[in-house]
């Protein structure tokens, strides 16, 4: 680490903190703090989705997996590639709910107790994820700097920075800093590749040094079989719906389309940079052989490449990008965890009549306090990829009741509760049977997940059928709201927001069993124009990205 590297790193920390504080002048109410008053344009929504969905643990985990097993391990990150088009379909659910947290949506759908259970999970989700991010950053920083800089020191500086501007500026500061930091994350994902290729003799040099299967887009040698990919994809589509930051990702745009574009195409940018992480793993695998060294932990691959390939100033820039990847997600999570505590605990149980400024204060303080728990979890993490998949898997168990409750009106609280409890219990029982070990975080395996989801969904439907339904009046109100445009500029003649079907904005996934009725297909392409157009375009982009990755692997 040269003096120039230190200048770049700490100069970045100072500037992004000052920028976040400058943006905080817009905060006047709890709604502006938690949701930015739903005024973000599509470009801010894209930056927010990409920045929040991309953490320092991800390039660490992906480069490490590719270093050890080849390019086909990209599907551990790309598991959501095949479900990204569905983001276009689900994004409006969150805005039309008119809520601040996913916990409130669960409460509207199933009642107070399940809303509380979900909120406990959601806060744990944020703590675990921030812990994984901190550990991911520490692994890279330690080896990239040659142990000349304390990883804990940089993590502390990063944590102080995002906490300062998030505490002051809420989601407004988080969203705008996410947009700025997205450019650094893209740089992080690509900057090692040209330097590394030069060192190892280009793609032809890598192919001479590494096994042929390292350059497959998909194979069983990577540990990603067809069954594994299917389970990872199911994990992704069910889990993403119940992840607690989906409100800020999808519902804070100035229009429903802004939320759709942000979540869907911001995620597409992440799929592109994942190719860069995987290529970095290949480069480091060849570089390690060339230098005749051994890495004791595959997840040191990204940090090793940074240390060996980057010169003065560039190392500081790389560390700044790592810090940016963490800060962009942690700042959003801090605001969301504060919103959860304030809306779902403080306002619901402790002070129902609290004034708005009181809620704003509690949101800031609770977000700060709960975020500090992530440091404790970070110290217990041994493998970043396992920790990452662990949190997404638990979100999938919650997703059974969330997604199931959106597409099936008959679902009730009894079926939802049974699905959550039994799926989690099954997951631990099957993992224990396969490993013989008792652990909080198991290495992700497809079989335990498959059993858990199968039994969870079966009980969700069976118990819901066998027990009394939710109150009809409450369900009619819930689903009627989901069918109405949340960004309408004027109310209809009936004093309500206009129905989405009148403007081509009806939602394909609502009341899915009802698709067997003839009435559901009346004016199909007109009613679902927005869903169908964006969904088709998304699939075209998915195909092009897979083709791009395949084409790159043919070089040399």
Closest by CA position to 72, among listed 549, 393, 447, 545: 549
The answer for residues whose C-beta is within 8 angstroms of residue 336's C-beta and 6 or more apart is: 101, 122, 126, 244, 245, 247, 248
Most confident of 15-19, 73-77, 84-88: 84-88
Contact criterion met (CB below 8 Å) for 285 and 67? yes
pLDDT tens per residue, range 397-444: 999 999 999 999 999 999 999 999 999 999 999 999 998 988 877 888
Tell me the average pLDDT of the chain. 89
pLDDT tens per residue, range 479-532: 999 999 999 988 887 889 999 999 999 999 987 878 778 878 888 999 999 999
For the residues 209-221, what does the mean pLDDT come to?
A: 92
Report residue 382's pLDDT band, with 50, 70 and 90 as the boundaries.
low
Q: In the predicted model, is pLDDT for residue 158 greater than 90?
A: no
CA distances from 53 to 49, 122, 162, 186, 296 (A): 6, 16, 16, 13, 28
Contact criterion met (CB below 8 Å) for 110 and 496? no
Q: In the predicted model, is pLDDT for residue 452 greater than 70?
A: yes
**To the nearest whole percent, how much of the chain has pLDDT over 90?**
57
Q: In the predicted model, is pLDDT for residue 131 greater than 80?
A: no
pTM: 0.89
CA distances from 361 to 102, 151, 165, 177, 339 (A): 21, 32, 15, 22, 11
pLDDT for 375: 67
- Give the Cβ contact number of residue 111 at 10 Å: 17
The answer for residues whose C-beta is within 8 angstroms of residue 60's C-beta and 6 or more apart is: 136, 139, 140, 299, 302, 303, 384
Q: In the predicted model, is pLDDT for residue 147 greater than 80?
A: no
Write phi, then psi, for 253 (nearest 5 degrees). Answer: -75, 165
The answer for residues whose C-beta is within 8 angstroms of residue 228's C-beta and 6 or more apart is: 75, 446
Report residue 70's pLDDT band, with 50, 70 and 90 as the boundaries.
very high
CA distances from 486 to 69, 292, 372, 481, 513 (A): 47, 60, 35, 8, 24
For the residues 465-481, what does the mean pLDDT come to?
A: 96
Alpha helices in 201-345 (DSSP H): 202-209, 226-242, 246-250, 256-291, 301-309, 314-341
Q: How far apart are CA 520 and CA 540, in angstroms?
A: 26
Structural domains of the chain in order of their starting residue, each with its CATH number: 3-410 (1.20.1730.10)
pLDDT tens per residue, range 4-50: 888 988 898 888 889 888 888 888 899 999 999 999 999 999 999 99
Place of tokens 């230190």: 6
Report the DSSP beta bridge partners of residue 253: 40
Report the DSSP beta bridge partners of residue 40: 253
Contact criterion met (CB below 8 Å) for 436 and 442? no
Kindly state the tokens that stand for 486.
Answer: 């949340």
pLDDT for 500: 94
Q: How far apart are CA 269 and CA 276, in angstroms?
A: 11
Contact criterion met (CB below 8 Å) for 162 and 292? no
Q: How far apart are CA 140 and CA 59, in angstroms?
A: 9
Q: How far apart are CA 92 and CA 112, in angstroms?
A: 23
Please report the DSSP string for 439-494 in residue order.
Answer: -SSPPP-HHHHHHHHHHHHHHHHHHHHHSPPPPHHHHHHHHHHHTB-TT-SS--TT
471-475 contact pairs (CB < 8 A, 24+): 475/409
Q: In the predicted model, is pLDDT for residue 231 greater than 60?
A: yes
Q: In the predicted model, is pLDDT for residue 213 greater than 60?
A: yes
Contact criterion met (CB below 8 Å) for 408 and 460? no
The answer for residues whose C-beta is within 8 angstroms of residue 277's C-beta and 6 or more apart is: 58, 59, 62, 63, 66, 74, 77, 189, 302
Largest interatomic CA distance in the chain: 76
pLDDT for 556: 83
Q: How far apart are CA 256 and CA 488, in angstroms?
A: 10
């Amino acid at each position: 680490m040269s003096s120039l590297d230190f200048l770049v790193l700490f100069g970045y920390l100072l500037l992004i903190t000052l920028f976040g504080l400058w943006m905080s002048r817009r905060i006047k109410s709890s709604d502006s703090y938690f949701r930015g008053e739903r005024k973000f344009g599509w470009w801010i929504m894209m930056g927010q989705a990409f920045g929040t969905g991309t953490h320092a643990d991800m390039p660490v985990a992906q480069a490490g997996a590719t270093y050890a097993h080849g390019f086909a391990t990209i599907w551990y990150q790309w598991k959501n590639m095949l479900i990204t088009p569905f983001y276009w379909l689900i994004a409006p659910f969150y805005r039309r709910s008119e809520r601040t947290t996913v916990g409130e949506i669960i409460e509207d759908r199933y009642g107070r107790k399940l809303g509380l259970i979900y909120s406990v999970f959601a806060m744990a989700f944020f703590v675990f994820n921030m812990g994984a991010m901190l550990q991911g950053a520490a692994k890279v920083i330690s080896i990239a700097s040659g142990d000349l800089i304390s990883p804990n020191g940089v993590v502390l500086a990063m944590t102080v920075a995002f906490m300062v501007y998030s505490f002051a500026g809420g989601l407004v500061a988080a969203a705008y800093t996410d947009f700025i930091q997205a450019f650094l994350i893209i740089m992080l994902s690509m900057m090692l590749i040209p330097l590394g290729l030069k060192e190892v003799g280009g793609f032809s040099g890598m192919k001479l040094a590494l096994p042929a299967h390292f350059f497959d887009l998909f194979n069983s040698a990577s540990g990603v079989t067809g069954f594994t990919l299917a389970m990872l994809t199911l994990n992704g589509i069910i889990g993403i719906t119940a992840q607690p930051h989906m409100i800020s990702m999808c519902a804070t745009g100035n229009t429903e389309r802004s939320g759709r574009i942000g979540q869907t195409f911001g995620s597409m940018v992440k799929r592109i940079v994942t190719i860069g992480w995987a290529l970095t793993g290949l480069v480091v695998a060849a570089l390690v052989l060339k230098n005749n060294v051994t890495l004791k932990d595959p997840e040191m691959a990204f940090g090793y490449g940074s240390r060996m390939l980057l010169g003065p100033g560039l190392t500081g820039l790389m560390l700044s990008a790592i810090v940016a990847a963490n800060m962009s997600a942690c700042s959003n999570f801090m605001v969301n965890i504060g919103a959860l505590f304030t809306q779902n605990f403080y306002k619901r149980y402790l002070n129902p009549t609290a004034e708005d400024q009181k809620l704003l204060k509690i949101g800031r303080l609770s977000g700060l306090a709960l975020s500090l728990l992530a440091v404790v979890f970070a110290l217990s993490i041994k493998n970043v990829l396992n920790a990452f998949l662990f949190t997404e898997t638990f979100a999938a168990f919650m997703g059974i009741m969330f997604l199931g409750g959106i597409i099936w009106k008959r679902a009730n609280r009894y079926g939802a509760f049974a699905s959550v409890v039994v799926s989690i219990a099954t997951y631990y029982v099957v993992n224990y049977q396969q490993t013989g070990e008792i652990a909080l975080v198991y290495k992700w395996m497809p079989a335990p997940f498959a059993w858990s989801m199968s039994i969870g969904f079966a009980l969700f439907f069976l118990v819901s059928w066998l027990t009394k339904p939710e109150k009809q009046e409450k369900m009619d109100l819930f689903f009627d709201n989901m069918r109405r445009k949340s960004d309408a500029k004027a109310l209809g003649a009936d004093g309500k927001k206009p129905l989405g079907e009148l403007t081509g904005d009806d939602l394909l996934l609502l009341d899915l069993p009802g698709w067997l009725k003839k009435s559901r297909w009346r004016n199909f392409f007109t009613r679902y124009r927005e869903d169908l157009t964006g969904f088709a375009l998304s699939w075209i982009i998915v195909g092009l990205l897979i083709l791009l990755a395949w084409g790159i692997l043919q070089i040399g």
